[in-house]
Amino acid sequence: MFEIRCINGSASDTRLKKTKIRRRDFMKNLSKKLLATAGILVASIALTGCNDGGFPTRDISVVVPWGAGGGTDLTVRTLVYEMGNYLDVQMPISNMPGASGSDGKIDVYDGRRDGYRILGSSMTSVTTAQVLGLSDISFTQWYAWNAAFAPSVIAVSSESDIMTIEDLIAEMQANPGAVALSSSGPGSSGHVGAMVFADAAGVTFNHIPYSGGSAAIIAVVGGEVDFTAQLSSEMIDFIRAGEMRALAALSLEDLVIEDNYGNEIVIPSLSRTIPAVANTLPIGASFGLFVPRDTEDNIVQTLNNAYLHAINTASFRDFVDRQGMVFFGMTLEETDAYLARNASVVSWILYDAGEATHSPADFGIPRR
């Protein structure tokens, strides 16, 4: 677990919020708790030597398996722009939404192992693909770099009569299964966040999936649906502009941002209303890059060097802060442990809610 600390932006731009994480404490807890409880320990890679294969000699295509403008798309674009600068190549994005992100994943996994077509995705959608029956590809079949995290935020349109999270719960109690939720697809982070909320509150909703986080949020703003539980990074501009009302954050601590006029907006942790949910929090999405695990070591090493450069650039760190996200910057080995823990938590949430077509136990995923 971790905690979010937010401070005001600089005097030159008071609209920008800074979100800080005690990363050292997070990684300490990761090594003590997650590695011990994950149950699926993937052998880490030992990458040595320089790239003697001449990679890359041309542009690298990055497949984002969601629509443009969502949390995955925005984060990956910022990350690979800096990686491309480091490698002296272009890294254009190809958006390939479909099957809750699995169409793009399968496209990359079934391709050549030459490093010229890689995946930019959320961690959760990779860990849940098997239990949802969307793909036979296990999360253990990827090398992955986990760059940043965004908590899910329960929000409504600013035109909604729902003013608080208690109001939303009351509306859902009065109209079981009728209150409409938008998400970027079954098993996506927004969908999982909504299920965690609904289970804790003892309510149900009508799930309406869209092609990506951006489309799901626009559906709320436009009045097509009642609420969403998409990510802070996806809706923060709408919240700052006053077009959306944030009711609760699925983070351990309150999320504090500033609107476009420098006024503080406090998004209370859901645990304030439902204390028992703290055992499940945080819920959200981590974003990063993936390549098939049988990709040649020299290619993975070159991409790893570019990633390490990119996550430490001012532009990427500033992006994370502006979007209300948390910087992770995990290594390959750290991401292995994160994926295993994520699978143990989220896959079982989906299965217990009747959303998964297969038991996580069928794939050796233990219950956390």
Residues 283-309 pLDDT 10s: 998 999 999 999 999 999 999 999 999
**Distance between CA atoms of residues 258 and 362, nearest Å:** 45
Mean pLDDT value across the chain: 86
**Distance between CA atoms of residues 232 and 38, nearest Å:** 26
The DSSP code for 271 is G
**Distance between CA atoms of residues 249 and 270, nearest Å:** 6
Q: Where are the CATH 3.40.190.150 domain residues in the chain? A: 4-150+284-363
Question: In this predicted structure, what is the pLDDT of residue 14?
Answer: 31
**Confidence bin at 120 (pLDDT 50/70/90):** very high
In terms of DSSP bridges, do strands 284-292 and 117-122 run parallel, antiparallel, or are they unpaired?
antiparallel
Region 317-324: what's the mean pLDDT?
A: 90
Radius of gyration for the alpha carbons in the chain, expressed in angstroms and rounded? 20
For the chain, where are the E strands, in sequence order?
Answer: 4-7, 18-21, 61-64, 93-95, 117-122, 142-151, 153-157, 180-183, 206-209, 227-228, 244-249, 255-258, 264-267, 284-292, 326-327
CA 367 vs. chain centroid, Å, equals 21
Phi, psi of 268 (to 5 degrees): -70, 145
SS3 105: helix
**Confidence bin at 213 (pLDDT 50/70/90):** confident
Give the other-Cβ count within 10 Å of 93's Cβ.
Answer: 16
- Report pTM: 0.75
Q: Where are the CATH 3.40.190.10 domain residues in the chain? A: 152-279
**CATH code at 4-150+284-363:** 3.40.190.150
Q: Residue 157 pLDDT > 70, yes or no? A: yes
HSE of 199 in the Cβ direction (CA atoms, 13 Å)?
17
Give the other-Cβ count within 10 Å of 354's Cβ.
Answer: 8
**Confidence bin at 260 (pLDDT 50/70/90):** confident
Residues 59-71 pLDDT 10s: 999 999 988 887 8
Q: Residue 163 pLDDT > 50, yes or no? A: yes
**Distance between CA atoms of residues 326 and 152, nearest Å:** 12
Domain 152-279 has CATH 3.40.190.10: yes
Region 341-357: what's the mean pLDDT?
A: 90
